[in-house]
């Protein structure tokens, strides 16, 4: 990174033990290069990926989330990745209503042999999210409409009111 | 002299406060639904603060020593600066603070306004409403200059918060409103000093299905339906009929009131213990049993069957959920960090 | 939590240290992360010295949790778990985080890679605090084994096990065992006769008291797991009673219907409607081909029935499903021939004298349709020149990218046979000559001496369109000779296409049944390409032979034997330890909503009608965690991948995401109090 202050998205990747995590291993073994923005969390199967985790990652400040599993029909646990597929669709539907840009949440299928494809998908995700800027979800309520000033003014009012009565 | 007398009464009688923040007020009425037992409450407690029923002033509370109120039942979410102030004040003055009812617990219906911004809420309330006549476009202002000095209105926040997002809460009494039996059970527990560990939600740790008399089988859903599209019988699980019945994810304690009258559970009791996000539980469970492996069909089933996902999955819990609100267009986004 | 963490950051020589400032990561972890008692970096954590260091720290400092930041858990998770176990720390309290494959090797910026490594270490440290000690569960191993596929790899595995004293079920899809090797004439490089070395093995299997052969049968369904699989096998109707048939062959002789044999004879020969694939077939019990049989076609004939001396013909036979219990499964399902019609430029199927390698094997086989005479399709003319084209359907992005491994040697073998049996000139058109096993290069040298002509270049076209009068009536091979650097047209009488080995059409489907996956090319994925080439991701399922990837006979035999040895090790041990990473349901809290009931492909979830709760059958659970994520009440927990563990991992991984405070409480629960509090209520 030439500009140290440039925005670099922080991305959480949930990957299944058998295909996508191994694809990421393979990308490493093959010395493929992709941006360092993704932090991979291993689960046994994409079917383990609970929407709670995705929401939690966003709430904790992730700028994007990638969910990755074996190709449909190639799940190590027969067909559990279809559950991941359905949950992704459901979550995407909800997150759209919550105002999240679609680029920030992505589902990727990668077999253990597809290190190259996974590396490309990660690169694409980073490049798609960079121009969107930080998500900083908790910023949605941190400031909350001049809250601090408002509270201070209440104190002042009350002090003033007390003075009148006493 | 008077001081001694007060101390004597505290020994025998506890001090109870009740407060109403951002909620419809149904919780206040629910307190009365314990019927004649309210007399027992009156016998056990001095009600030191209950604006809706008892004439007491905020400044009286402000003057009370810290932790001098034994129990405060606080209903409603935190939408304004005044409510936040009251929450902080009552927290400071109370030994036990109970988030009473869904609004204080999870934000409830008022929390769904977190899908909009303050400006949008004002626009709906002061301009767009069918019964609204406001040709001058007047909006509430925090400060209004008057000859006698400025007058203040509480600041209306952008985001409604739950009570525990504002101050630490000891117990939660779920429900919209809490059922009389549960209120009484909680009060009894308080009276007898048999309180569960701090932070507990008072109620059974199982879901509505446990109390639902309908027969459940394995689930496969090809289509989600709205209530008007289904004529339920009295035996079949409503979810299996295609209705989004939230009973699977919702804490029991209501006796499956809604499913018993052919109406799907809408989830007012919130989740079981240990659940981090109520809506996520529903989304995950319902998505898992969709009967399709085709991404386009799956999308269609979801889009057509659940047109309002946040309203469906987070009807009572949006403010208390992990994401709390809809992403705002300005604040929090595009803001450089560090 | 008053845990004591040890954090160990590996340099991996320069593999990690070259891109990640490992010393800084260790130093930082010691300061930044709560409950860290010691944080060290070391040249090679996986070395015995590295392991000793961890073990000593556990003993001396009383560590309760260990984080190793090194390579992929697929490589060294076991190593570090063992080190912990040596020091009496439960191995599941050790977390390996991958800062090599997922960080140093894929990054180009040292500062960014170091920051990423820190986040990964933080994530592992937060996670490990929630990890629970787990104990593997012992499961008894059924000493019976199922071998799927009766080719040379499967036969070898079967014999190894049976000879060692264990019972084996051998399932073969075709009517006889033997596989592709039974079709071959000679085997390279020794040129011994394929049948002479194979048939003794076949009959040994056929007669073995501990082998139950199920030929003309297919695997339907597999349930259970290592030690106790239950397998359903569909035994297709042969229309011949195996118990009565003596294999005399009269029925075959008398059968009036003769059809082209596309299977064993590769379309060059004929067989009857009732047939044994080849004379040495094991078992010798024939099969009625219902597509060809006159009785099945017209409802009358039954000639075979009339001549059978033992009344073994059974037209009313039905497919039968057999259930067997086995402890282990060896898949040796082999390969199928590349369809050379897919490359029309080589003219197969259009130009009569273009042969496939399998056809040519039959052509020069003494027991084949021409009695071993190498002749053109007219069955009489001996070719005066033969072209052998390599890599047909191999090493080509349009068909298969892989090398089929055996074709160079087979081509040399063909060259030798043509030179030996005819006066023809033999050309080999190769891309690269691959002769890299024992005796192979010598065989190549021998063919060079014998006068086989080698042209290096990928053939562009085989055509019968003559340009010169001398080419007339011949096949012209158009090729760029890359050694001479010019285009050549070589007229020949016969062309042999060295078609590729391809995965069986249903390899993926069968793999799914057994819980194993295929590579993109379609070969079964072994557990480790180098260090564990016969085991698979599913314990108790092994692979041998070409189904795992193209290979020759010696390699297939070696793999068959290796798989058998692995199985024997399990049987001898008697019990296997099953990963304790399984789901469990809190029955107290389960309301019996039954959402989870049909989510488990392994049928590990049962519903208790009386209690109205669901339950996980631990021995059948494979630990995918899908039900854990699906439970709407949140009452299913997944060992070693609990919600708390994963949420803590997310928290750690995003430790630097919101420097201004992320507004969430420490327990990952968004709604707990923790927003920045201006303490404005006057005290």
> C569 and C590 share a domain?
no
CA distance C84 to B128: 67
Of A71-85, C18-32, C137-151, C246-260, the one with minimum mean pLDDT is A71-85
Helices (H), C164-227: 194-207
Closest residue in B to C657 (Cα) is B337
Question: Of C551, C575, C599, which closes a domain?
Answer: C575
CA distance B159 to B245: 28
Map out the domains of chain A with their CATH numbers.
11-160 (3.40.50)
**Cβ contact (<8 Å) for B276 and A52?**
yes
With residue B71 as reference, give the H or E element that holds it: strand B69-75
- Chain A residue numbers with beta carbons less than 8 Å from the beta carbon of C647 are 52-53, 56
- Chain A residue numbers with beta carbons less than 8 Å from the beta carbon of C649 are 41
- Domain containing C468 — which CATH number? 3.50.50.60
* Residue C679 scores a pLDDT above 70: no
Highest mean pLDDT among B119-128, C113-122, C615-624: C113-122
> C65 and C9 share a domain?
yes
> C97 and C114 share a domain?
yes
CA distance C610 to C159: 49
Among A139, A129, A110, A97, residue whose Cα is nearest residue A12 = A129
> C411 and C478 share a domain?
yes
Neighbors of chain C with 3 or more C-beta pairs under 8 Å: A, B
Q: Is residue C665 part of a domain?
A: no
Q: Write the pLDDT tens digit of every residue in C567-592.
A: 999 999 999 988 899 999 999 999 99
Among candidates B85, B164, B281 on the partner chain, residue whose Cβ is nearest the Cβ of C671: B164
What mean pLDDT comes out for the span B177-190?
Answer: 90
Q: Is residue C656 part of a domain?
A: no
What mean pLDDT comes out for the span A20-35?
Answer: 95
Q: What is the pLDDT of residue A163?
A: 57
* Residue B15 scores a pLDDT above 70: yes
Among candidates C72, C625, C664 on the partner chain, residue whose Cβ is nearest the Cβ of A45: C625
Q: What is the pLDDT of residue C673?
A: 40
SS3 B189: helix
Q: Write the pLDDT tens digit of every residue in C305-352.
A: 999 999 999 999 999 999 999 999 999 999 999 999 999 999 999 999
**Cβ contact (<8 Å) for A60 and C101?**
no
Q: What is the pLDDT of residue C681?
A: 56
Q: Is residue C646 part of a domain?
A: no
> C402 and C524 share a domain?
no
Question: Long-range pairs for C293-300 at CB < 8 Å and ≥24 separation?
Answer: C293/C257, C294/C256, C294/C257
* Residue B266 scores a pLDDT above 80: yes
Ordered DSSP codes for B15-65: EEEEEE-BS-SHHHHHHHTTTTHHHHHHHHEEEEE-TTTS---HHHHHHSP
* Residue A165 scores a pLDDT above 50: no
Quickly count: other Cβ atoms within 10 Å of residue B200's Cβ: 13
What's the structural domain count of chain C?
5
CA distance C556 to C332: 9
Q: Is residue C680 part of a domain?
A: no
> C349 and C498 share a domain?
yes
What does pLDDT average to over chain B?
Answer: 90
**Cβ contact (<8 Å) for B142 and A150?**
yes
Q: Is residue C28 part of a domain?
A: yes
B205 to chain A nearest CA, in Å? Answer: 19
Neighbors of chain A with 3 or more C-beta pairs under 8 Å: B, C
Among A44, A104, A39, A52, residue whose Cα is nearest residue A75 = A44
Q: Residue A161: which pLDDT band, with cuts at 50, 70 and 90?
A: low
Closest residue in B to A154 (Cα) is B82
Exposed e or buried b per residue across B289-309, where buried means at least 16 C-beta atoms within 10 angstroms of its C-beta: bbebeeeeebbebbeebbeeb
Among candidates C73, C108, C654 on the partner chain, residue whose Cβ is nearest the Cβ of A10: C654
> C418 and C293 share a domain?
no
Q: What is the pLDDT of residue A162?
A: 59
Identify the residue among A42, A111, A134, A163 best suited for mutation to test binding to C, counting C beta carbons within 10 A and taking the highest: A42
Of B40-49, C3-12, C15-24, C73-82, the one with minimum mean pLDDT is B40-49
Q: Is residue C391 part of a domain?
A: yes
What mean pLDDT comes out for the span B206-210?
Answer: 96
Please name the residue that has the structure tokens 């209705």.
B243
- Domain containing C82 — which CATH number? 3.40.50
Q: Write the pLDDT tens digit of every residue in B296-320.
A: 999 999 999 999 999 999 999 999 9
Question: Of C639, C658, C678, which closes a domain?
Answer: C639
List, in order, residues 6 or more apart from C143 with CB less than 8 Å away: C166, C167, C327, C571
Ordered DSSP codes for chain A: ---TTS----EEEEEETTTHHHHHHHHHHTT----TTEEEEEES-GGG--HHHHHHHHHTT-SEEEEEEPPTT-BTTBTHHHHHHHHHHHHHHHHHHTT--GGGEEEEE--TT-HHHHHHHHHHHHHHHGGG----TTHHHHSTTTHHHHHHHHHHHHHHHHHHH-
SS (H, E, C) C420-462: HHCCCEEEEEECCCCCCCCCHHHHHHHHHHHCCEEEECCEEEE
* Residue C243 scores a pLDDT above 90: yes
CA distance C513 to C476: 47
Q: Is residue C261 part of a domain?
A: yes
Read off the tokens for C253.
């002789």
Among candidates C116, C519, C662 on the partner chain, residue whose Cβ is nearest the Cβ of A36: C116
Closest residue in C to B250 (Cα) is C633
Considering Cα of A119, then A120, then A121, then A124, what sign does the dihedral take?
Answer: positive
**Cβ contact (<8 Å) for C106 and A33?**
yes
- Chain B residue numbers with beta carbons less than 8 Å from the beta carbon of C635 are 206, 272
* Residue A71 scores a pLDDT above 60: yes
Among candidates B207, B219, B338 on the partner chain, residue whose Cβ is nearest the Cβ of C591: B207
Distances (CA, A) of B206 to B154, B255, B271, C625: 40, 12, 9, 21
Identify the residue among C590, C613, C681 best suited for mutation to test binding to B, counting B beta carbons within 10 A and taking the highest: C681
Q: What is the pLDDT of residue C662?
A: 40
Considering Cα of A135, then A138, then A144, then A146, what sign does the dihedral take?
Answer: negative
What mean pLDDT comes out for the span C205-232?
Answer: 94
CA distance C170 to C350: 39
Considering Cα of C152, then C153, then C154, then C160, what sign does the dihedral take?
Answer: positive
Q: What is the pLDDT of residue B195?
A: 84
Q: What is the pLDDT of residue A152?
A: 80
> C212 and C329 share a domain?
yes
> C365 and C486 share a domain?
yes
Q: Residue B337: which pLDDT band, with cuts at 50, 70 and 90?
A: very low
For residue C173, what are the domain limits? 145-179+194-219+323-334+504-575
Closest residue in B to A53 (Cα) is B280
What mean pLDDT comes out for the span A32-46?
Answer: 97
- Chain B residue numbers with beta carbons less than 8 Å from the beta carbon of A157 are 152
Among candidates C590, C634, C680 on the partner chain, residue whose Cβ is nearest the Cβ of B271: C634
Of B126-135, B323-332, C11-20, the one with minimum mean pLDDT is B323-332
Q: Write the pLDDT tens digit of every residue in C111-143.
A: 999 999 999 999 999 999 999 999 998 989 999
Q: Is residue C237 part of a domain?
A: no
SS3 B130: coil
* Residue A82 scores a pLDDT above 90: yes
* Residue B214 scores a pLDDT above 80: yes
Among C493, C476, C564, C580, residue whose Cα is nearest residue C137 = C580
Beta carbon pairs, A and B, within 8 Å: 167
For residues C157 and C180, is the Cβ–Cβ distance under 8 A? Answer: no
Q: What is the pLDDT of residue C578?
A: 85
SS3 C5: strand
What mean pLDDT comes out for the span C154-159?
Answer: 98
Q: What is the pLDDT of residue B5?
A: 42
CA distance B8 to B2: 10
For residues A118 and A14, is the Cβ–Cβ distance under 8 A? Answer: no
> C420 and C375 share a domain?
yes
* Residue C669 scores a pLDDT above 70: no
List, in order, residues 6 or more apart from B330 with CB less than 8 Å away: none
Considering only residues B181 and A62, tell me which one the structure prediction assigns the higher pLDDT.
Answer: A62
For residues C414 and C194, is the Cβ–Cβ distance under 8 A? Answer: no
Name the pTM for this structure. 0.78
* Residue B24 scores a pLDDT above 60: yes
**Cβ contact (<8 Å) for C597 and B219?**
yes
**Helix C407-421 / helix C440-450 crossing angle, nearest 10 deg:** 40
* Residue A104 scores a pLDDT above 90: yes
What does pLDDT average to over chain C?
Answer: 93
B326 to chain A nearest CA, in Å? Answer: 4
SS3 B11: helix
Considering only residues B321 and B44, tell me which one the structure prediction assigns the higher pLDDT.
Answer: B321
* Residue A3 scores a pLDDT above 70: no
Write the ipTM: 0.95
Q: Residue C1: which pLDDT band, with cuts at 50, 70 and 90?
A: low
What mean pLDDT comes out for the span B173-201?
Answer: 90
* Residue C519 scores a pLDDT above 90: no
What mean pLDDT comes out for the span C645-667?
Answer: 73
Q: What is the pLDDT of residue C654?
A: 96
Among B328, B94, B49, B310, residue whose Cα is nearest residue B190 = B94
- Chain A residue numbers with beta carbons less than 8 Å from the beta carbon of C120 are 39-40
List, in order, residues 6 or more apart from B7 with CB less than 8 Å away: none
Map out the domains of chain B with their CATH numbers.
7-110+158-192 (3.40.50.700), 208-313 (no CATH)
Highest mean pLDDT among A37-46, A71-80, A131-140, B123-132: A37-46
> C497 and C351 share a domain?
yes
Question: Of C557, C575, C593, which closes a domain?
Answer: C575
Please name the residue that has the structure tokens 């809190």.
C586
CA C297 to chain CA centroid, Å, is 40
- Chain B residue numbers with beta carbons less than 8 Å from the beta carbon of A94 are 279, 283, 309-310, 313
List, in order, residues 6 or more apart from B321 with CB less than 8 Å away: A55, B106, B277, B278, B279, B280, B314, C670, C671
Among A34, A33, A30, A121, residue whose Cα is nearest residue A71 = A121
Q: What is the pLDDT of residue B330?
A: 54
> C434 and C479 share a domain?
yes
Tell me whether A53 touches chain C (CB under 8 Å).
Answer: yes
């Amino acid at each position: 990174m030439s500009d140290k202050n440039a925005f670099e998205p922080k991305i959480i990747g949930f990957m299944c033990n058998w295909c996508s995590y191994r694809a990421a291993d393979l990308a490493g073994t093959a010395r493929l290069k992709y941006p360092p923005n993704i932090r991979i969390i291993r689960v046994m199967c994409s079917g383990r990926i609970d929407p709670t985790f995705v929401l939690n990652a966003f709430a904790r400040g992730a700028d994007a989330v990638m969910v990755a599993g074996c190709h449909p029909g190639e799940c190590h646990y027969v067909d559990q990745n279809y559950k991941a597929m359905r949950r992704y669709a459901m979550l995407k539907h909800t997150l759209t209503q919550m105002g999240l840009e679609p680029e920030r949440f992505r589902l990727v299928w990668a077999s253990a042999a597809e290190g190259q494809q996974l590396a490309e998908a990660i690169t694409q995700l980073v490049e798609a999210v960079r121009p969107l800027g930080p998500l900083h979800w908790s910023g949605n309520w941190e400031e909350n409409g001049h809250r601090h000033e408002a509270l201070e003014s209440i104190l002042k009012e009350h002090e003033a009111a007390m003075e009148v009565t006493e | 002299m008077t001081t001694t007398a007060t101390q004597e009464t505290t020994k025998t009688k506890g001090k109870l406060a009740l407060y109403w923040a951002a909620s419809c007020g149904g919780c206040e009425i629910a307190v009365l639904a314990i019927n004649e037992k309210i007399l027992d409450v009156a016998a056990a407690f001095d009600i030191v603060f209950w604006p809706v029923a008892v004439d007491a002033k905020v400044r009286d509370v402000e003057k009370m020593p810290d932790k001098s109120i034994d129990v405060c039942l606080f209903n409603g979410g935190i939408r304004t600066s005044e409510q936040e102030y009251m929450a902080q004040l009552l927290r400071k003055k109370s030994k036990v603070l109970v988030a009473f009812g869904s609004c204080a617990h999870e934000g409830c219906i008022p929390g769904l306004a977190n899908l909009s911004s303050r400006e949008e809420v004002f626009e709906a309330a002061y301009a767009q409403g069918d019964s609204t006549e406001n040709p001058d476009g007047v909006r509430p202002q925090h400060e209004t200059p008057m000859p006698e000095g400025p007058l203040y209105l509480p600041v209306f926040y952008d985001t409604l918060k739950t009570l525990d997002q504002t101050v630490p809460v000891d117990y939660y009494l779920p429900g919209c409103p809490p059922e009389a039996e549960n209120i009484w059970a909680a009060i009894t527990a308080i009276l007898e000093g048999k309180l569960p560990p701090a932070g507990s939600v008072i109620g059974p740790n199982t879901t509505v299905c446990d109390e639902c008399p309908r027969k459940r089988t394995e689930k496969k859903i090809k289509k989600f339906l709205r209530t008007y599209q289904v004529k339920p019988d009295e035996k079949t699980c409503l979810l299996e009929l295609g209705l989004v019945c939230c009973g699977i994810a919702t804490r029991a304690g209501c006796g499956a009131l809604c499913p018993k009258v052919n109406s799907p559970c809408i989830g007012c009791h919130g989740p079981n213990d240990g659940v981090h996000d109520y809506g996520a539980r529903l989304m995950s469970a319902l998505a898992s049993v969709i009967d399709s492996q085709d991404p386009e069909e799956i999308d269609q089933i979801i889009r057509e069957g659940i047109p309002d996902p946040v309203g469906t999955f987070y009807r009572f819990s949006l403010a208390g959920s992990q994401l709390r609100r809809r992403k705002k267009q300005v604040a929090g986004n595009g803001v450089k960090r560090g | 939590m008053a845990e004591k963490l040890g954090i160990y950051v590996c340099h991996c020589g320069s593999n990690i240290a070259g891109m990640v400032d490992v010393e800084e990561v260790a130093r930082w972890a010691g300061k930044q992360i709560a409950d860290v008692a010691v944080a060290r970096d070391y040249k090679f954590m996986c070395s015995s010295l590295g392991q000793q260091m961890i073990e000593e720290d556990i003993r001396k400092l009383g560590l309760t949790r260990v984080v190793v930041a090194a390579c992929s858990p697929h490589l060294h998770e076991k190593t570090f778990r063992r080190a912990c176990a040596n020091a009496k720390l439960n191995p599941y309290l050790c977390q390996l985080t991958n800062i090599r494959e997922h960080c140093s090797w894929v990054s180009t910026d040292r500062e960014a890679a170091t920051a990423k490594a820190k986040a990964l270490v933080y994530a592992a440290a937060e996670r490990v605090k929630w990890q629970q000690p787990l104990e593997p569960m012992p499961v008894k191993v059924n000493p019976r084994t199922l071998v799927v596929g009766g080719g040379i790899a499967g036969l070898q595995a079967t014999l190894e096990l049976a000879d060692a004293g264990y019972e084996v079920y051998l399932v073969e899809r075709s009517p006889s065992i033997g596989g592709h090797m039974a079709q071959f004439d000679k085997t390279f490089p020794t040129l011994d006769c394929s049948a002479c070395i194979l048939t003794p093995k076949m009959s040994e299997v056929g007669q073995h008291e501990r082998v139950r052969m199920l030929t003309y049968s297919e695997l339907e369904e597999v349930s259970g797991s290592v030690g106790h699989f239950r397998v359903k096998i569909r035994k297709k109707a042969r229309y011949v009673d195996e118990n009565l048939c003596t294999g005399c062959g009269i029925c075959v002789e008398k059968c009036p219907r003769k059809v082209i044999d596309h299977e064993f004879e590769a379309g060059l020969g004929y067989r009857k409607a009732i047939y044994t694939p080849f004379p040495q077939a094991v078992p010798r019990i024939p099969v009625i081909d219902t597509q060809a049989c006159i009785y099945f076609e017209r409802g009358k004939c039954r000639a075979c029935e009339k001549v059978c001396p033992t009344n073994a013909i059974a037209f009313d036979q039905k497919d039968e499903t057999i259930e067997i219990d086995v402890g282990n499964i060896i898949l040796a399902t082999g390969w199928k021939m590349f369809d050379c019609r897919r490359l029309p430029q080589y003219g197969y199927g259009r130009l009569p004298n273009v042969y496939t390698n399998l056809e040519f094997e039959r052509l020069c086989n003494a027991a084949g349709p021409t009695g071993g005479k190498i002749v053109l399709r007219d069955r009489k003319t001996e070719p005066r020149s033969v072209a052998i084209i390599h890599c047909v359907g191999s090493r080509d992005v349009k068909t298969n990218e892989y090398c089929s491994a055996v074709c160079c040697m087979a081509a040399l073998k063909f060259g030798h046979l043509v030179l030996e049996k005819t006066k023809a000139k033999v050309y080999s058109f190769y891309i690269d000559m691959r002769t890299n096993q024992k005796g192979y290069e010598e065989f190549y040298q021998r063919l060079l001496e014998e006068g086989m002509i080698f042209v290096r270049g990928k053939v562009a076209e085989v055509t019968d369109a003559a340009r010169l009068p001398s080419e007339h009536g011949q096949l012209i091979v158009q090729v760029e000779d890359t050694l001479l650097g010019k285009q050549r047209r070589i007229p020949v009488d016969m062309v042999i296409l060295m078609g590729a080995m391809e995965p069986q059409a249903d390899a993926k489907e069968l793999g799914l049944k057994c819980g194993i996956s295929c590579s993109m090319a379609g070969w079964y994925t072994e557990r480790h390409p180098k260090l564990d080439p016969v085991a698979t991701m599913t314990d108790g399922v092994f692979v041998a032979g070409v189904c795992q990837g193209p290979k020759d006979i010696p390699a297939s035999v070696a793999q068959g034997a290796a798989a058998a040895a692995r199985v024997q090790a399990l049987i001898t041990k008697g019990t296997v330890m099953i990963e304790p990473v399984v789901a469990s349901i809190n029955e107290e809290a389960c309301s019996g909503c039954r959402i989870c009931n049909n989510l488990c492909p392994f049928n590990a979830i049962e519903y208790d009608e009386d209690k109205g709760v669901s339950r996980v059958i631990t021995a059948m659970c494979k630990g995918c965690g899908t039900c854990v994520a699906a439970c709407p009440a949140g009452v299913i927990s997944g060992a070693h991948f609990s919600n708390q563990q994963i949420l803590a991992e997310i928290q750690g991984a995003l430790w630097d995401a919101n420097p201004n405070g992320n507004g969430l409480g420490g327990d990952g629960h968004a709604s707990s109090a923790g927003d920045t509090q201006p303490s404005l209520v006057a005290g």
